[in-house]
Structure 1
Amino acid sequence: MAKSGRPKNTKNKAKHAKLVDRKKNKLRQKQDERTERLKALKEKIKEHNQDSTTND
C-alpha cells in the first residue's frame, strides 16, 4: 500500500538540490572571476609590450 500523508524524502531532496546549486554557483563565480583577472592581466601585458616596443 502507498504511504499516506507527507511525501517521502522531498524535504531532504530539496535541501540537497539547494546546496548543490549553491556549490555549483560558487564554482562558476570563481571561474568567471579567474577569467576576468586573466583577461585584465593579458591586456596589461599587451599594453606594456606595445609601450616597450615604441620606446626602443
Structure 2
Amino acid sequence: MAKRGTPKNGKNKAKHTKLLKQKKEKLRKEKEARAAKLKAIITASKSNEA
C-alpha cells in the first residue's frame, strides 16, 4: 500500500528541480547568444574581405 500524506522531500525536490531547470535554460541561452555573436563577426569579416 502507498503511504499517505505529503512526500518526505517533495518540496525540496521540486525546488531543486526548478533551480536546475533555470540553470540549464540560462546556459542554453548563453550558448545561443555566443553562437549568434560569433556568426555576426564571421559574416562581418567575410563582407569586409570581398
What fraction of aligned residue pairs are identical, expressed as a percent?
49
RMSD: 1.3
> How far apart, CA to CA, are the structure 1 residues paired with 2:33 and 2:4?
48
Q: CA offset at residue 42 of structure 1?
A: 0.2
The aligned residue for residue 41 of structure 1 is: 41
Structure 1 stretches of 4+ moved >6 Å: none
The aligned residue for residue 23 of structure 2 is: 23
> How far apart, CA to CA, are the structure 1 residues paired with 2:37 and 2:14?
35
Q: Which structure 2 segments of 5+ residues have no match? A: none
When Rg is computed on C-alpha atoms for both structures, the one with the higher figure is 1
Q: Which structure 1 segments of 5+ residues have no match? A: 51-56
Residues 1-55 of structure 1 show CA distances to partners (whole Å, capped at 9, x for unaligned) of x7542111011000000000000000100000000000000000000000xxxxx
> How far apart, CA to CA, are the structure 1 residues paired with 2:5 and 2:33?
46
